[in-house]
Amino acid sequence: MPSLDQAAESYGGVSLDEDGLVVVHLLLYGFDMQAPSVDDAREWAEHYGIDERPNHVVLVGDPRMLGSASFRMIPGLQVVDREFVLRYDSAGRNAPHDMWTELWPNLAGVLAES
């Protein structure tokens, strides 16, 4: 599976560093499969270079988010537009939108909307 950056460019023709795009990395589970800690988020950000990218942030879930519903969302991506409307949901294996044929190919169009 390609990295998020490679997938965005190959399947969507966009860079995840584009102006107007904010990438939120939501950690639902820590490295111990419990609720993630701030240290987990820091390690994640450093490992993937997120800490060096101004439009990328890491959001830490709390213990209330643990469970079968959140586990089924992994791996996954969601696209939320400027009005905070969920446009594409490819979170999990049974997501309503396919990541490769729907989410990535339509991301440039969502970014182009004003």
Check whether 114 has a pLDDT greater than 70. no
| Phi and psi angles of residue 55, each rounded to the nearest 5 degrees, phi first | -100, 15
Read off the DSSP letter of residue 57.
E
Q: What is the pLDDT of residues 12-34, one digit of tens each?
A: 999 999 988 999 999 999 888 89
| Residue 36, helix vs strand vs coil | coil
Its pTM stands at 0.86
Distances (CA, A) of 49 to 46, 55, 64: 5, 12, 28
End-to-end Cα spacing for the chain? 32
Contact 104, 8 (CB under 8 A): yes
pLDDT in tens, 68-105: 988 888 889 999 999 999 999 999 999 999 999 999 99
